[in-house]
Amino acid sequence: MIKSPSKTIWKWIIGFNYFNLMDALLTLLGTTYMGAKEINPIMKVLLESGPVGFIGCKLIIGLLATYYFVRNERYKLLKIMTCVMAGVVGWNIIMILLKGFFHWKGL
């Protein structure tokens, strides 16, 4: 039987899935409007299937990962992956801001 995670673990679960969704949305923004390229070959194929399929598959993959973390009580891995996803989202935001800045400056 699966034990219910503590309130602290729920915050990490929500954070992981939030950053996963933000990564998907920022990837769509970057590839659709800013000329960015997806470097992950699996996500690239999903991205070519369309935005709804891409976001849907990305969310399902994130939820399956969350289920794995909770089912196997891999909370340390959950925390590490949440921090990795936060870093990816931060990187995406920086790249979008830099692209906008250099476009605005005409460089």
Position 35 scores a pLDDT of 84
The pTM for the full model equals 0.86
The Cα 97–Cα 87 span in angstroms is 15
Work out the number of other CB atoms within 10 angstroms of the CB of residue 89.
19
Position 101 scores a pLDDT of 75
Mean pLDDT score of the chain: 90
Q: What percentage of the chain exceeds 70 in pLDDT? A: 93
Is the per-residue pLDDT at 102 higher than 90?
no
If one compares 25 and 107, the residue with the highest pLDDT of the two is 25
If one compares 105 and 7, the residue with the highest pLDDT of the two is 7
- The answer for residues whose C-beta is within 8 angstroms of residue 87's C-beta and 6 or more apart is none
- What are the tens digits of pLDDT across the range 43-71? 999 999 899 999 999 999 999 999 999 99
Give the domain ranges of the chain.
Answer: 7-105
